[in-house]
Amino acid sequence: MKNIVILISGSGSNMAAIAQTAHKEAWREKFGVRIAAVISNRADAQGLPLAKSLGLATELLPHRDFASREAFDAALMARIDLHAPQLVVLAGFMRILTPGFVQHYAGRLINIHPSLLPAFTGLDTYQRAIDMGCKVAGATVHQVTAELDHGAILAQAVVPVLPGDTAGALAARILTQEHLLYPQAVRSFFERSA
């Protein structure tokens, strides 16, 4: 069995999109793929009860329980490695990861970012796109490297920036596309490695 571990910090909507697509498309039967665990660094992450409602195993590892970023990442690696994952998926995991963590999962650690990378790395991507007068915005699934929001681009989705758009309205349109794009990119990862 090829295991996926999904890391979340918040609502878990991308995690749920991946899990629901995996079930609907029978990834276990077609590719021998299953979501082994959903791990959150925040006890209040709404994605934890959502994952449980989808029948997924959940774990909590609060980053505030650790004295340093390195100590947390080491504990997180140990927790993830119990599941022997072929792929680690960052789905709204709001932590900058240490180079050692990223290297440990090189080639099997992916993230989704709410911009058309390489444009608008970091935060406030929606407002920055509006402020720059962009005609399109979107989302990017990419390999994670030690450099924030860099790494090979695996998939992108484009949405228009409409006249009078607010950051919230643009974010909602991009999130709709993320829920289609991220499961597709995860499926493609396993199709390539089949």
pLDDT one-digit tens code per residue, 57-67:
999 999 999 99
Q: Could you give the residue numbers annotated as active site?
A: 113
Q: Residue 167: pLDDT above 90?
A: yes
Assess whether pLDDT exceeds 70 at residue 177. yes
Distance CA 23, CA 52 (A): 14
Residue 162 domain-assigned (yes or no): no
Q: Which residues contact 39 (CB under 8 A, 6 or more apart)?
A: 5, 6, 7, 8, 58, 59, 60, 61, 76, 79, 80
Whole-number Cα distances in Å, 166 to 88, 126, 174, 177: 32, 8, 12, 17
Q: Mean pLDDT score of the chain, rounded to an integer?
A: 97
CB proximity list for 165: less than 8 A, separation 6 or greater = 130
Q: Is residue 170 part of a domain?
A: no
* Per-residue pLDDT, 194: 66
In a domain, 124, yes or no: no
Instruction: Give the DSSP letter of residue 100.
Output: H
Integer angstrom CA distances of residue 3 from 23, 117, 164, 171, 174: 14, 27, 43, 30, 28
In a domain, 130, yes or no: no
Q: What is the pLDDT of residue 53?
A: 98
Domain for residue 72, yes or no? Answer: yes
Q: Would you say residue 133 lies in a domain?
A: no
Calculate the alpha carbon distances from 82 to 35, 56, 86 in Å: 13, 16, 12
Domain limits at 36? 2-114+140-156+178-193
- 151 occurs within a structural domain: yes
Give the count of domains, the chain: 1
Residue 107 backbone phi and psi in degrees, to 5: 85, -5
Q: What is the pLDDT of residue 59?
A: 98
Model confidence, pTM: 0.96
Query: For the residues 89-98, what does the mean pLDDT come to?
Result: 96
Task: Convert the pLDDT of each residue in 96-153 to its tens digit.
Answer: 999 999 999 999 999 999 999 999 999 999 999 999 999 999 999 999 998 988 999 9
CATH number for the domain harbouring residue 48: 3.40.50.170
- Tell me the mean pLDDT in the region 147-169: 96
In a domain, 122, yes or no: no
Mean pLDDT of 5-30: 97
